[in-house]
């Protein structure tokens, strides 16, 4: 039985609002009829909820007045674009209005000199790619839904795709956003804004914090040479082991996609070409470079690794037509399954890459125990897995089994240190699962962030965060324990919270001017909080305590023939590096962190997975926070094989200024202004 939600907006008020909306967007653009609203009561997930009306837009300038009207009248509203969301994000759970942004599809500018495209939110991802191709450029995020899904929807979900392994997900490719906030006010957020990174909150916020009106996207020149390889394997497990082998070689392919026989056969149905009997899985590998020699060397090493990992045969696409065919197998797997059965549930967990084989084993057992059929497709390089379960939602008993199996798959991902969503979001479908992943303290921070932007819960209400605070316990997860020093610091913060004592957080002290610290602040040093907690050579991640000196991390990695993309001239501690926002690329290195709140509560964010869109992106928001939000206890960073050190880094703008939204966020984290209180003092917090 699909999820259904009740109509809560009073019909008698509808006519007046309809008229006012029509004054802004035009009579023909406001729909309130039974059939018309029914068409907007679903997206690509199983959630259903009928809105009271739908507003279409002909110009982005209409968004703010519409939002203000609805906000002032306390009417719920949800932004929507192509409606390909797989977690119920694009339906309005309170029977409010759907704001359909799909017609806002202008590409305003393609600036190849500075690598920027400026677009409206309804621009379809593939339409942008086709336009960019004319200039020899591309936009990295390439979700499998790119033929229809929009840039606004991609931003709201922080969409990923095959190319994201090398070039990053949506949030890694955003430079600036124009946003309409829930009250109808307009703001611009960019990577160069002063203060901590507020822009980080919008990708993966699932339309709950603001509506993207215009976006400035990073675009890249299409690499000169691209090679596409399909490796056949006797089992999906072998294909996944080959993925770990390739990454361990220090090769970062453009894409590394795995799929099982069921998915391949579905995709090839009706086509001339068949796969050999013994092929149980395909691994699609794409390598790119501007230097042919480098590319060919990588191709040879990739081939050797594939053979070592039991590849049965390796095909390299000879021309663009063959490349397109290989990608067709991957991209057709979902539509083909959708043709085979009335419904497909696309699950979307992620685990640390080396744990994919364990996850796979457990997922197969779960599917078997619930007697379900699924095609298995993986963004294997990212550890992001999609079991695509086919079923018929009219069969209530089968649908119940599908839901239960989905929950068990997510629990498996959590148990392995992973997450409940690598790219499709939480929406309504996974709200309950948020309790399994996060502590109640962390969920409370997410709730307060939502309330700071939208106190009346009007914009895309009741998404992403569990509605009832029913204390469903967090599951046991493969994650490191806390050191004695970290526990001491948490206890000390609890104590200071009770006494109301103010704290000045000090790492190595290199960035703290002692003359700045007011007399009523007691210093809390992270010295001694300096252990390397986990160095995972297969996953290419390091987790270390925040007081560790960057130089010590560099030395350790050098000894292990590894490196980290931190500017050579940067010193101080890891915590200080994040708090003071030293280089723009840091945001793409950060995978996880443990934070201590002013009251001594522990907040654990992210981990060793490459992708995680489950909560609000508080992790990246910590960049530039200068100890005003929380004490950073530990961090998990991406690392790489030595010899491929990145050299060009961008220095962002001045981090030491804060605006009114920063102050609202400060209230969420540290309402009594106990942490580094002087830094935002001129704004009179506390």
Residues in contact with ligand FAD by the rule CB under 6 A: 43-44, 78-86, 89-90, 101, 121, 143-145, 149-150, 152-154, 156-157, 159-161, 206-207, 211-212, 334, 423-424, 460
Smallest separation, CB 88 to ligand FAD (Å): 8
What Cα–Cα distance (Å) separates residue 168 from each residue in 84, 171, 283, 454? 21, 8, 20, 29
Instruction: Specify the residue, 178 or 398, whose C-beta has the smaller distance to ligand FAD.
Output: 178
Which are the contacts of 162, defined by CB distance < 8 A and separation ≥ 6? Answer: 142, 144, 254, 255, 257, 284, 286, 330, 379
Q: How far is the CB of 124 from ligand FAD (least distance, A)?
A: 8
Q: Output 160 or 349, the one with its CB closest to ligand FAD.
A: 160
Distance (Å, whole) CA 248 – CA 540:
8
Whether 419 and 477 have beta carbons less than 8 Å apart is answered as no
Helix, strand, coil distribution of the chain in percent, nearest 5: 35, 20, 40
CA angle at 326 for the pair 324 and 332, rounded to the nearest 5°: 90
* Min dist. Cβ of residue 633 to ligand FAD (A): 30
CB of 334 to ligand FAD, least distance (A): 4
Taking Cα atoms as reference points, which of 428, 415, 260 lies closest to residue 352? 415
Minimum distance between the CB of residue 164 and ligand FAD, rounded to whole angstroms? Answer: 8
Task: Say how far apart CA 87 and CA 45 lie, in whole Å.
Answer: 5
- Residue 211 or 574: the one with the smaller Cβ distance to ligand FAD is 211
Closer Cβ to ligand FAD, 156 or 550, answer by number: 156
Structure tokens at 401: 């089994």
Residue 269 Cβ vs ligand FAD, minimum distance, rounded to whole Å: 17
Q: Which is nearer to ligand FAD, 171 or 634 (CB)?
A: 171
Could you tell me which residues come within 8 angstroms of residue 289 by beta carbon, excluding any fewer than 6 positions away? 223, 224, 225, 295, 298
> Would you state the structure tokens that stand for residue 256, as one six-digit string?
């590394």
Beta carbon nearer to ligand FAD, 105 or 298: 105
Nearer to ligand FAD, 282 or 493 (CB): 282
Task: Give the β-pairing of 255-260 and 220-221.
Answer: unpaired
Which residue's CB is nearer to ligand FAD, number 121 or number 352?
Answer: 121
User: Closest approach of Cβ 386 to ligand FAD, in Å?
Assistant: 8
User: What dihedral angle (degrees, nearest 10) is formed by the CA atoms of 77, 79, 83, 89?
Assistant: -70
Q: Give residues with Cβ within 8 angstroms of 405, minimum separation 6.
A: 366, 367, 369, 370, 372, 389
CB of 160: closest distance to ligand FAD in angstroms? 5
Least distance (Å) from ligand FAD to the CB of residue 423? 3
Chain position whose Cβ is nearest to ligand FAD: 153
The Cα 542–Cα 556 span in angstroms is 11
Q: Which is nearer to ligand FAD, 211 or 564 (CB)?
A: 211
**Helix spans in 249-369 (H):** 261-268, 292-308, 320-340, 356-369
Given the complex with ligand FAD, which of 142 and 193 has the nearer CB atom? 142
- Min dist CB 259 to ligand FAD, Å, is 13
Q: What is the DSSP string of 334-403?
A: HHHHHHHSSEEEE--EE--GGGHHHHHHHHHHHHHHTT-EEEEEEEGGGTEEEEEEEE-TTSHHHHHHHH
């Amino acid at each position: 039985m699909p999820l259904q939600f009740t109509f809560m907006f009073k019909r008698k008020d509808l006519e007046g609002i309809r008229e006012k909306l029509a004054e802004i967007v035009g009579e023909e653009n406001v729909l309130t009829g039974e059939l018309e609203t029914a068409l907007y009561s679903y997206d690509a997930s199983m959630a259903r909820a009928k809105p009271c009306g739908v507003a279409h837009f002909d110009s982005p300038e209409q968004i703010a007045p519409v939002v203000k009207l609805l906000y002032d009248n306390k009417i719920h509203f949800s932004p929507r674009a192509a409606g390909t969301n797989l977690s119920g994000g694009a339906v309005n759970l309170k029977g409010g209005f759907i704001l359909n942004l799909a017609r806002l599809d202008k590409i305003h500018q393609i600036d190849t000199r500075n690598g920027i495209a400026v677009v409206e939110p309804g621009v379809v991802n593939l339409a942008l790619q086709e336009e960019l191709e004319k200039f020899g450029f591309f936009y990295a995020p390439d979700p499998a839904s790119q033929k229809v899904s929009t840039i606004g929807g991609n931003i709201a979900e922080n969409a990923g795709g095959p190319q994201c392994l090398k070039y990053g997900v949506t949030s890694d490719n955003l430079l600036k956003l124009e946003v309409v906030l829930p009250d109808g006010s307009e703001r611009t957020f960019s990577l160069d804004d002063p203060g901590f990174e507020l822009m980080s909150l919008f990708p993966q916020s699932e339309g709950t914090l603001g509506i993207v009106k215009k976006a400035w996207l990073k675009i890249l020149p299409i690499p000169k040479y691209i090679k596409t390889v399909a490796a056949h394997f006797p089992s999906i497990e072998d294909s996944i082991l080959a993925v770990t082998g390739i990454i361990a070689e220090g090769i970062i392919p453009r894409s590394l996609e795995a799929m099982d026989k069921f998915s391949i056969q579905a995709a090839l149905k009706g086509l001339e070409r068949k796969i050999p009997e013994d092929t149980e899985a395909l691994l699609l590998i794409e390598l790119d470079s501007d230097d042919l020699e480098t590319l060919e060397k990588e191709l040879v090493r990739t081939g050797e690794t594939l053979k070592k990992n039991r590849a049965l045969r390796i095909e390299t696409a000879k021309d663009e037509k063959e490349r397109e065919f290989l990608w067709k197998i991957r991209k057709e797997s979902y539509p083909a399954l959708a043709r085979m059965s009335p419904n497909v549930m696309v699950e979307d967990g992620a685990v640390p890459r080396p744990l994919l084989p364990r996850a796979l084993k457990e997922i197969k057992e779960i599917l078997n125990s619930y007697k379900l059929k699924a095609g298995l497709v993986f963004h294997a390089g990212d550890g992001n897995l999609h079991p695509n379960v086919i079923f018929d939602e009219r069969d209530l008993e089968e649908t119940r089994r599908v839901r239960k199996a989905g929950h068990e798959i997510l629990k498996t991902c959590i148990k392995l240190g992973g997450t409940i969503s690598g790219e499709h979001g939480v929406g309504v479908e996974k709200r309950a699962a948020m309790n399994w992943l996060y502590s109640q303290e962390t969920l409370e921070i997410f709730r307060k962030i939502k309330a700071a932007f939208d106190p009346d819960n009007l914009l895309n209400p009741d998404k992403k965060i569990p509605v009832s605070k029913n204390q469903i316990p967090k599951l046991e997860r493969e994650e490191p324990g806390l050191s004695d020093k970290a526990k001491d610091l948490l206890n000390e913060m609890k104590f200071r919270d009770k006494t109301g004592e103010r704290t000045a957080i000090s790492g190595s002290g290199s960035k703290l001017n002692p003359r700045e610290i007011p007399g009523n602040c007691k210093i809390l040093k992270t010295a001694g909080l300096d252990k390397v907690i986990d160095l995972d050579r297969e996953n290419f991640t390091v987790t270390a305590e925040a007081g560790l000196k960057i130089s010590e991390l560099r030395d350790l990695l050098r000894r292990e023939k590894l490196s980290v993309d931190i500017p050579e001239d940067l010193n101080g501690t890891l915590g200080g590096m994040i708090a003071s926002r030293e280089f723009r690329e840091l945001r793409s290195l950060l995978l996880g962190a443990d934070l201590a709140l002013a009251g001594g509560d522990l907040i654990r964010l992210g981990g060793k997975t490459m992708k995680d869109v489950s909560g609000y992106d508080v992790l990246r928001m910590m960049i530039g926070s200068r100890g005003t939000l929380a004490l950073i206890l530990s961090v998990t960073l991406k690392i790489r094989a030595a010899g491929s050190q990145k050299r060009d880094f961008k220095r962002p703008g001045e981090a030491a200024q804060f605006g009114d939204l920063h102050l609202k966020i400060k209230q969420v984290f540290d309402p009594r202004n106990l942490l580094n209180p002087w830094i935002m003092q001129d704004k009179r917090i506390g």
